[in-house]
Chain A
């Protein structure tokens, strides 16, 4: 039985996170808890971050593993964490929305594409950060198609 890529349980709102490493661990943990990845995946997420930042711009960061981490992925899934106070992702980049990604196949690309389009508009960033329920987020990310 394939899990939904994004479910309510994968979304955490208004979290305070002190630094980048914690941010990665936090988003990774959600994926581990949800049974999407094994614990080794988080190491690979750190590794990936070393290689090049996953900070995308527009307060958005998308921590995920390296290419060879695909063996640690059990199911494709994403986690969403909002951090209104921001986390420093280095180089003066402050991330307020964290999208943890575990991709095995291509099932997550549709929703990721929506996230990208939604987050490319600055006013949507505010909407996401002001969201009060997980459903709101689910709705925001699924509405464009």
Chain B
């Protein structure tokens, strides 16, 4: 039992990470395309368009991640706080702060949730708006301010530690082992200090005397990342699968390695794959005594080829290919073993308008197998049950905040649904649940409805219309126990 819970926790954590990253993959790809095409070393250098590159990776992507992370914890309000706090991390550090965003986003959302929990019920009617805006503003300013001061030194310390680690390894001549530090450092954007601070200067020295250096290949080898993306292309599912081939092109041909970072971030086990890929690549390079004449930038296969001195092609190419193959093999195993649960998420998530919502409800889904759209009469029980069996911390990110819209539906939308909706609205009001309840004809159930309530005779039609929503079937519209059940559930989890 304890094992199962730990496993569930880890899975939850994994799907949580992917919940922050996946919805934003589009932004990563947009950035990757612009970078690969328009930077000075790109395919169509364009100074004007290249000015997008820096701000996008420094601000846009971390802010999106921070927002999404906050939103996972505490809905839109949490998202806003997440973005504010992430801004502090961005300003405090000099590197793109994906990791910082992934930490501060949810943390800020959680902080807002705590503050609201302590204050919101004491706010007098009429002052809610004032409270809502100022509490978020004050807390956000505070968190952003703190981040500015704490993150910079933290990042610097980490970078220095990593850099000295690499320095030791290089000086001891254990080059392949440098990948153990370099590959994870890349994912955290801490690679530049290593690459430009240590590897490049040493490499330039070597190249000056020997005409080439293997050190230029350590960080720039596109093989490990390619392996990850290929593994996603084959064994991934949903968005991660469909976006991976395009990302592979941007990464391998365009040399924009950052594009595969989110794929690794959402499944940290994949670090093993890139590390092993890196090690085997470097090992191959040293075996063939291969090197480059200068630092390839960006780390595209074309740049690598262009900087390969005559006679070194077999070693360089083989090193890249082997790195990709090893990384692919391990990544495939990682993806396949954890596939049954989480991968399912992403597919389902892709089908939904709201990414996070889908992921979370499926996170419930795999723990308590249930049809895509269960009748809530019993699923609500199951959900509650699974809440209890899971980690306590799992409760905050679920259900209550997924449910943003409850819709009562009947055939014409003129009678029963209107009455049911007003009853439920009344119940919500009494329970201080701030979720809109509307009524409609079944044919016009809005796509974004999270819970659809219908008379038991009409539930099947409603399900056919909007299968992904949660469906509640009621018999007695005037006095259904389901109303109280739903209100109770939302209240419990919304607190």
In chain A, positions 78-99 with a C-beta closer than 8 Å to chain B are: none
**CB < 8 Å neighbour of A113 from B411, B413, B414, B422:** B422
The interface residues of chain A lying within 8 Å CB-to-CB of B425 are 113
Per-residue CB contact flags for chain B residues 458-491 toward chain A (1 = under 8 Å, else 0) read 1000000000000000011111100000000000
CA distance A67 to B422 in the complex (A): 20
A116 and B476 contacting across the interface, CB-CB below 8 Å: no
Q: A56-B476, A56-B478, A57-B480 are in contact. Are A62 and B416 (CB under 8 A)?
A: yes
**CB < 8 Å neighbour of A120 from B415, B418, B443, B479:** B479
CA distance A62 to B411 in the complex (A): 13
Whether, in the assembled complex, A101 has its beta carbon less than 8 Å from a beta carbon of chain B, the answer is: yes
Whether, in the assembled complex, B419 has its beta carbon less than 8 Å from a beta carbon of chain A, the answer is: yes
The interface residues of chain B lying within 8 Å CB-to-CB of A119 are 478
How big is the A interface, by class? 20 to 34
CA distance A117 to B429 in the complex (A): 12
**CB < 8 Å neighbour of B420 from A64, A108, A114, A116:** A116
CA distance A64 to B419 in the complex (A): 13
Q: A116-B420, A117-B423 are in contact. Are A101 and B476 (CB under 8 A)?
A: no
Whether, in the assembled complex, B441 has its beta carbon less than 8 Å from a beta carbon of chain A, the answer is: yes
Closest A residue to B414 using CB positions:
A103
The interface residues of chain A lying within 8 Å CB-to-CB of B480 are 57
B196 to chain A, nearest CB (A): 65
Whether, in the assembled complex, B333 has its beta carbon less than 8 Å from a beta carbon of chain A, the answer is: no
CA distance A95 to B460 in the complex (A): 25
A52 and B411 contacting across the interface, CB-CB below 8 Å: yes
Closest B residue to A48 using CB positions:
B411
A112 and B415 contacting across the interface, CB-CB below 8 Å: yes
A67 and B419 contacting across the interface, CB-CB below 8 Å: no
A102 to chain B, nearest CB (A): 8
Per-residue CB contact flags for chain A residues 50-63 toward chain B (1 = under 8 Å, else 0) read 01111011101010
Which of A56, A69, A70, A117 neighbours the largest number of chain B CB atoms within 10 Å of its CB?
A: A56
In chain A, positions 34-62 with a C-beta closer than 8 Å to chain B are: 48, 51-54, 56-58, 60, 62
CA distance A113 to B457 in the complex (A): 22
CA distance A98 to B410 in the complex (A): 18
Closest B residue to A70 using CB positions:
B412
A67 and B457 contacting across the interface, CB-CB below 8 Å: no
In chain B, positions 411-444 with a C-beta closer than 8 Å to chain A are: 411-416, 418-423, 425-426, 439, 441, 443
A22 to chain B, nearest CB (A): 19
In chain B, positions 59-92 with a C-beta closer than 8 Å to chain A are: none
Whether, in the assembled complex, B257 has its beta carbon less than 8 Å from a beta carbon of chain A, the answer is: no
B411 and A67 contacting across the interface, CB-CB below 8 Å: yes
A57 and B478 contacting across the interface, CB-CB below 8 Å: yes
Whether, in the assembled complex, A66 has its beta carbon less than 8 Å from a beta carbon of chain B, the answer is: yes
The interface residues of chain A lying within 8 Å CB-to-CB of B443 are 67
How big is the B interface, by class? 20 to 34
The interface residues of chain A lying within 8 Å CB-to-CB of B423 are 116-117, 120
Q: A56-B476, A67-B413, A108-B414 are in contact. Are A113 and B441 (CB under 8 A)?
A: no
The interface residues of chain A lying within 8 Å CB-to-CB of B475 are 57
**CB < 8 Å neighbour of B457 from A51, A62, A112, A116:** A51
Whether, in the assembled complex, A109 has its beta carbon less than 8 Å from a beta carbon of chain B, the answer is: yes
B476 and A64 contacting across the interface, CB-CB below 8 Å: no
CA distance A52 to B426 in the complex (A): 25
Closest A residue to B454 using CB positions:
A52
The interface residues of chain A lying within 8 Å CB-to-CB of B441 are 67
A50 to chain B, nearest CB (A): 10
Whether, in the assembled complex, A28 has its beta carbon less than 8 Å from a beta carbon of chain B, the answer is: no
CA distance A60 to B411 in the complex (A): 18
B477 and A56 contacting across the interface, CB-CB below 8 Å: yes
CA distance A116 to B420 in the complex (A): 7
CA distance A58 to B475 in the complex (A): 11
B426 and A117 contacting across the interface, CB-CB below 8 Å: yes
CA distance A64 to B411 in the complex (A): 10
A51 and B478 contacting across the interface, CB-CB below 8 Å: no
Whether, in the assembled complex, B113 has its beta carbon less than 8 Å from a beta carbon of chain A, the answer is: no
Whether, in the assembled complex, B455 has its beta carbon less than 8 Å from a beta carbon of chain A, the answer is: yes
Q: A56-B478, A67-B413, A103-B412 are in contact. Are A109 and B457 (CB under 8 A)?
A: no
Whether, in the assembled complex, A13 has its beta carbon less than 8 Å from a beta carbon of chain B, the answer is: no
CA distance A58 to B412 in the complex (A): 22
B322 to chain A, nearest CB (A): 65
B478 and A120 contacting across the interface, CB-CB below 8 Å: yes
Per-residue CB contact flags for chain A residues 113-128 toward chain B (1 = under 8 Å, else 0) read 1111101100000000
Sort A-B residue pairs by CB-CB distance and give the 3 closest, nearest first: A57-B476, A103-B414, A113-B422
Measured CB to CB, the residues of A under 8 A from B are 48, 51-54, 56-58, 60, 62, 64-67, 69-70, 101, 103, 108-109, 112-117, 119-120
Q: List 9 A-B contacts (CB under 8 A).
A: A51-B457, A57-B480, A60-B478, A64-B414, A103-B414, A109-B418, A112-B422, A117-B422, A117-B423
Measured CB to CB, the residues of B under 8 A from A are 410-416, 418-423, 425-426, 439, 441, 443, 455, 457-458, 475-480
